[in-house]
Amino acid sequence: MPHPLSILGIAHTLISLAPVVAGLYGFIHWGRIEPGTRSGRVYLVGLALSVFTAFGLSSTGGVNPGHVLGVLALLAAFGGAWLAPRLRFFGRLIPYLQAFGLSFSFFLLLVPGINETLTRLPTARPLAAGPEDPVVQTALLAWLLIFIVGFVLQSRTIWTGRRTQDSAKPA
């Protein structure tokens, strides 16, 4: 039987759903997480709250890989949302850097979530025994492939959008 969730664990889980839903909304609606939109702001705030509440949770009693992934997700998200647009010397790469940072943060956000979900549900007999279980490893590999394909599609959309804008400019 899996360990029951504490009050903080329940709060963290509920808080963590906000950036997942907001991120999915952005991907569906715009093909990416747009930091200037309401869903983009919900994503960034929800991600930060999710990571901060995770620091109160640890089955090992200290910093664990989930905490490290959370910090990396924050760095990627805020690097993509805030820093990339300010690095003018990257020129035409800025939209790609922004899309990568925000998409990579979404990818990282769900890595511990996939593990926790598969090792806790269904409660009577979870699908996996731990992070090394083949079910978890296969799900994470599938998630990695989804991330790679998703970023390639985002890059293609950015490239074709830029090409359309360039051809519309007067000579």
φ/ψ of residue 133, rounded to 5: -60, 140
Distance CA 50, CA 111 (A): 13
The string of pLDDT tens digits covering residues 79-122 is 989 999 999 999 999 999 999 999 999 999 999 999 999 999 99
Output the pTM of the full model.
0.89
The string of pLDDT tens digits covering residues 35-51 is 999 999 999 999 999 99
The single residue listed with the structure tokens 């990416």 is 32
φ/ψ of residue 16, rounded to 5: -65, -20
Please give the structure tokens belonging to residue 113.
Answer: 């979530």
